[in-house]
Structure 1
Amino acid sequence: MMVTRIVPALLLLVLAAGCANNATDSGAAAPVASPAPSASDVVDLPLPTAKTSGPVGEPTSGRPVAGGQTITGTVTAGVEPNCLLLSDDKGSHLLIFDDPAMRADAAVGSKVKIVGNAQPNMMSTCQQGVPFIVVSVEKG
């Protein structure tokens, strides 16, 4: 009876040793875990501007052409850092500023009237709202 218990235990030990030895013999390196990025690894990049070119290729400002939109409401914080939103009856707008002074005028919780242009095809890391290029802000 003792032999029937020892043989399976030895067989298991030999199989385990063979598997462990096989991983190093194949020449494949053991996977190394990458460290998770820390808050200091995140870099804020400048936001894209809504500049267009004029009829002769001359750059124009990001100011809206005829038909610019005006939205009014209370600025809220997005789920991602540094993302500001403004909602109206048409939905949520992700506020994108070319001028830091205008961004300061649109602090979270402030009531504002904003003029600019929606850019629904613009990519954003904020993951909320339709990007809206802001050209003017009025507190109110």
Structure 2
Amino acid sequence: MGTTLTGVPEEGVEPGCMILKDKGQTYLLVGGDETLIKSGRTVTVTGRARNDMVTTCMQGTPFEVTEVRLA
């Protein structure tokens, strides 16, 4: 079982990077259903933080998404 986050994803400072703020933390969403993530609506994502993952995005802790659903 993974961690669950809820919020409205927004575009990061780098093109193609989507971030989600939950409980004062900023996460970089990696994977998941992009149509739901980019919907502009509140979503609940399940997955796990990946501090070992290297990305080209300049914001947030990488969060590997395994499930996305509209909240």
1:118 pairs with 2:52: no
Kindly report structure 1 stretches of 4+ aligned residues shifted beyond 6 Å: none
What code does the residue aligned with 2:40 have?
G
The structure number with the bigger radius of gyration is: 1
CA RMSD of aligned residues (A): 1.3
1:95 pairs with 2:29: yes
More strand by share: 2
Aligned residues: 71
Residue 109 of structure 1: how far off its partner (Å): 2.2
SS at match of 2:8: strand
Long gaps (5+) in structure 2: none
Structure-2-length-normalised TM-score: 0.91
Instruction: Flag the structure with more relative contact order, 1 or 2, with Cα contacts below 8 A and sequence separation at least 6.
Output: 2
Long gaps (5+) in structure 1: 1-65
More helix by share: 1
Structure-1-length-normalised TM-score: 0.48
Would you say the 8 A contact 1:77–1:108 is kept in 2?
A: no
User: Match of 1:107?
Assistant: 38
- Indicate which of 26, 36, 61 corresponds to 1:130: 61
